[in-house]
């Protein structure tokens, strides 16, 4: 099974930008930890980062037929992108939204995620550990979907 991790704008700057909010960990370090969890559970994992909304939409669409689930940190696009929301809705894959900071403790314009309603769940405020929680959540979701499909095919047989 394959999980695609999509990182939005400015996340390539982790470790450098606003360490008081995002901490000192770099994106590559987060990805290395996620690879460890994926390997431990026999999952394939792929990473994608872009500062461009259209590239993120394209990557979500490419996941259809290629991936089993998506973990996404749309960053600032969480609060503005109907295009990313529509792309998630169109691929019919489980998606977990993750944010390093607690968006509900920040500026009011960050309190509303346009993405969350089309996701299986949202994890925010746990720093880089939120990605670990997102991985465990996605593994659980995909396990449940696999068991459900198996039960359905056995019932039809």
Q: Does the annotation place 100 within a ligand binding site?
A: yes
Q: Does the annotation place 79 within a ligand binding site?
A: yes
Q: Does the annotation place 58 within a ligand binding site?
A: no
CA dist., res. 59 & res. 87, Å (int) = 9
Q: Backbone phi, then psi, for 25, in 5-degree steps?
A: -70, 135
Catalytic residue among 22, 41, 104, 131: 22
Over the stretch 39-97, which tens digit does the pLDDT of each residue have? 999 999 999 999 999 999 999 999 999 999 999 999 999 999 999 999 999 999 999 99
Tokens encoding 114: 């346009």
How much is the pTM?
Answer: 0.93
Select from 107, 126, 116 the least CA-distant residue to 81. 116
Tokens encoding 36: 């460890």
Top-level class of domain 2-156? alpha beta
Residue-range domain boundaries for the chain: 2-156
Over the stretch 102-144, which tens digit does the pLDDT of each residue have? 888 888 878 899 999 999 999 999 999 999 999 999 999 999 9
SS3 40: helix
Whether 77 is a known active-site residue: answer: no
SS3 65: coil
Q: Does the annotation place 31 within a ligand binding site?
A: no
Catalytic residue among 16, 99, 111, 132: 99
Whether 99 is a known active-site residue: answer: yes
């Amino acid at each position: 099974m394959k999980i695609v991790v999509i990182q939005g704008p400015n996340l390539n700057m982790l470790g450098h930008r606003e360490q008081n909010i995002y901490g000192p960990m770099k994106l590559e370090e987060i990805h290395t930890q996620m690879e460890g969890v994926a390997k431990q559970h026999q999952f394939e994992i792929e990473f994608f980062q872009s500062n461009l909304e259209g590239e993120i939409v394209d990557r979500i669409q490419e996941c259809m037929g290629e991936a089993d689930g998506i973990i996404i940190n749309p960053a600032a696009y969480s609060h503005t992108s109907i295009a990313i929301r529509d792309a998630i809705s169109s691929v019919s894959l489980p998606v977990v939204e993750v944010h390093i900071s607690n968006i509900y403790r920040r500026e009011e314009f960050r309190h509303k995620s346009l993405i969350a309603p089309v996701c299986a769940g949202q994890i925010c405020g746990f720093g880089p550990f939120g990605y670990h929680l997102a991985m465990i959540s996605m593994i659980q979701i995909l396990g449940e979907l696999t068991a459900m499909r198996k039960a359905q095919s056995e019932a039809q047989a």
